Amino acid sequence: MDNITRQNQFYESQVIKQENESGYERRPLEMEQQQAYRPEVKTEMKQEAPASFLPPEASQLKPDRQQFQSRKRPYEENRGRGYFEHREDRRGRSPQPPAEEDEDDFDDTLVAIDTYNCDLHFKVARDRSSGYPLTIEGFAYLWSGARASYGVRRGRVCFEMKINEEISVKHLPSTEPDPHVVRIGWSLDSCSTQLGEEPFSYGYGGTGKKSTNSRFENYGDKFAENDVIGCFADFECGNDVELSFTKNGKWMGIAFRIQKEALGGQALYPHVLVKNCAVEFNFGQRAEPYCSVLPGFTFIQHLPLSERIRGTVGPKSKAECEVSGPGRPNWRPPPQSPVGAKAEGRHCSWVTLGTPVRTSRGWLVAPGSPG
């Protein structure tokens, strides 16, 4: 027995010697238990509204962050393993989604930014006349678009857009071209939110270019923060529709001439596409315009309701929505095809989340991406 005891002592001394030589320091079991049961503090990134969207008193109401710094609770030795497992299980549950804002109180007869006809990362203010894009992390690389709730197809109509703020995006590399840009104009209700990059979508950009169907040409002056752009649509030019713009009251000339026959009686809607900029619209709700308006033009809000065309209204419930499943390649007819929903007498507006590829049969969504 003495020999076995001496062998064990010798073996343990050799192990401790090897640990000391390797720089390893053995921790007591209690410390390992504290590390194992120490709850993790979960953080969530949330973007604050730009300064131009905050009321003056908001900065005074901001509490000191140091008052709310989290403190790690000490390990309680009198608690059993089951207590901590139960607590961690409760902490790991997904939080309930925040309640959506009630939109029933908003007067739908007013011309406003349409919360249904805009990108998900474009945040619309409660007054529906202003908005800004998400800019945290990779969102700062993206364009974000929105359309107005009403359009027009006759008369001489206008609206204004002001760039309230160029949102700080210091996390973007210096090589990023044009980190702050706004494109403003008109489009059909059937067009995507990418203004000026498809037929019947007409935009004037802050880089001093106009575009339609992804064809860019020099036009007007460049514009940026605090500039006001007036947008004018003249349907009283014979067989054409003329679109023109002003910058701070100065006319930039006619940008587009569109044949009425090509439009087919469809309405044109105010449309904006932004990149890291907060913007505000004047559809006619302001007592005074930002700048002088071209003679003979009327703000779209001042037109009778019968002369305005309501854009596509979103579904009232999830039961009215349709989602095609992801996984293998999924073919579906394009929105303008009589196949599918329209063959059943229903109007269906598809939004593809993924990489769509045009084929002779319709649209093919890349494998692995939701359709």
Q: How far is Cα of residue 48 from the mean position of the Cα atoms in its chain?
A: 14
Q: What is the mean pLDDT of the chain?
A: 77
User: Rounded to whole angstroms, how far apart are CA atoms 274 and 194?
Assistant: 10
Q: In the chain, which segments carry CATH 2.60.120.920?
A: 113-310
**Stretch (H or E) spanning 19:** helix 2-22
- 85-100 tens-digit pLDDT: 555 555 545 444 444 4
Per-residue pLDDT, 16: 56
Are the CB atoms for 240 and 257 separated by under 8 Å? yes
Q: Which residues of 244-282 are buried (b: 16+ CB within 10 A; e: fewer)?
A: bbbbeeeebeebbebebeeeeeebbbbbbbbbbbbbbbb
Residue 203 and residue 196 in contact, taking contact as beta carbons nearer than 8 Å: yes
Q: Residue 47: which of 121, 113, 127 has the closest Cα?
A: 121
Question: What is the pLDDT confidence band of residue 313, given thresholds at 50, 70 and 90?
Answer: confident
Residue with the larger pLDDT of the pair 32 and 309: 309
Name the class of domain 113-310. Answer: mainly beta
H-only helix segments in 214-368 = 260-263
In the prediction, which pLDDT does 50 show?
76
pLDDT of residue 103: 56
pLDDT digits (tens, 9 = 90+) for 15-64: 555 555 555 455 554 554 555 445 454 445 567 677 766 666 655 555 55
Q: Mean pLDDT, to the nearest integer, of 265-283?
A: 97
